[in-house]
Amino acid sequence: MKKYLLSGVAALGLLAAGAASAADLPSRKGPVVAPVYVPAFTWTGFYVGANAGYGWGNVNANGFANVGDLDGFVGGGQVGYNYQIGQFVIGAEADFQGADLSSGDNLGLLNVKTEWYGTVRARAGVAFDRFLVYATGGWAYGNVKTSFPGLFGPFALNTDRTHTGGFAVGGGVEYAFTNNLIGGVEYMYVDLGEKNIATLPGNKVGTDFSVVRARLSYKF
C-alpha cells in the first residue's frame, strides 16, 4: 500500500512540474491590437466652392409684376461656415454670381437685364451623417440694366442701377462625398426690388427670379 501511495505522490509532482514549465514557455498569441475608431463626419468648418445653374423670373415696373419674362444662365462662387450641434447644422454663406438674365416686354418697349448679383444668407438644416437638408435666407443685391429701344429707336435710353434692398430665400440638399468634398443642389428665390430709373425719375424697375443650381464645395 505504501508503495502505491509513493507512486501517486511522485506522479502528481511530475504533473505539477510539467504545468509550471509550460507556463514558462513564450505565448504563441500575437500582441493585443487596440480597436481603430473611425471619427464621425462633422459639418463644422469653413468651405469655399463654385456653382452653376439656370434662372427664370419677372421684370417689375412701378409695382406691376411680370412686365416681361426673364431667364438665362447663372454661375459663380460661394464661401461659408457651418457649425454642427448634434444633428442640427447652422451657418452663414455669401455668394457672388455672374448672370445672363435678360428680358423684353411683349411690345419691345422695355428691355431689362441682370448681369450679376450676390447674397449674404443664414443657413439652418438637419444632418443625417453625410447628408444635409437645409433652408436659407437673407440679403440680396445686384444690378438691373434697362433700355427703351421701342420709344427712342437708335437713341435707346439706357440706365444701369445697383439694387441693394433685395432678399433671397431657398433651400437645398448636400452630400459629403469625402471629409472635404461636398456636392449639392439648391433652389433660391431672389428679389432685387424696384429702384428709380436714373434717366426717368418717378419710374421704377426691378427683377425677381428663381434659380436652380448645382454646387461643389471644399470643406477645410
Q: Render the burial of 99-123: b for 16+ CB within 10 Å, e for the rest.
A: bebbbbbeeeebbbbbbbbbbebeb
- State mean pLDDT over 169-191: 98
Q: What is the share, in percent, of the chain residues with pLDDT greater than 90?
A: 56
Question: Rounded to whole angstroms, how far apart are CA atoms 216 and 106?
Answer: 38
- What pLDDT, in 10s, does the model give residues 105-123? 555 667 889 999 999 999 9
pLDDT at 49 over 80: yes
pLDDT at 9 over 50: no
Joined together, the cell numbers standing for residue 114 give 441682370
| 4-18, 80-94, 202-216 — most confident range | 80-94
The pLDDT of residue 5: 39
More confident residue, 91 or 155: 91
More confident residue, 173 or 7: 173
Mean confidence (pLDDT) of the chain: 82
Joined together, the cell numbers standing for residue 202 give 418717378
Q: What is the share, in percent, of the chain residues with pLDDT greater than 70?
A: 70
Please, which residues bridge with residue 183 across strands? 175, 216
In the three-class reduction of DSSP (H, G, I as helix; E, B as strand; rest coil), residue 15 is classed as: helix
pLDDT at 27 over 60: no
Place of cell 434717366: 199
The pLDDT of residue 8: 46
pLDDT band for position 213 (50/70/90)? very high
- State mean pLDDT over 187-202: 82
The pLDDT of residue 4: 45
- Which region, left, alpha or beta, applies to residue 23 given φ > 0 means left and ψ of -120 to 50 means alpha? alpha
Could you tell me the CA-to-CA distances from 197 to 101, 147, 155, 160, 180 in Å, in that order?
A: 18, 10, 17, 8, 45
- What pLDDT, in 10s, does the model give residues 120-177? 999 999 999 999 999 999 999 999 988 776 555 555 567 888 999 999 999 999 999 9
Asked if 89 and 83 touch (Cβ cutoff 8 Å), the reply is: yes
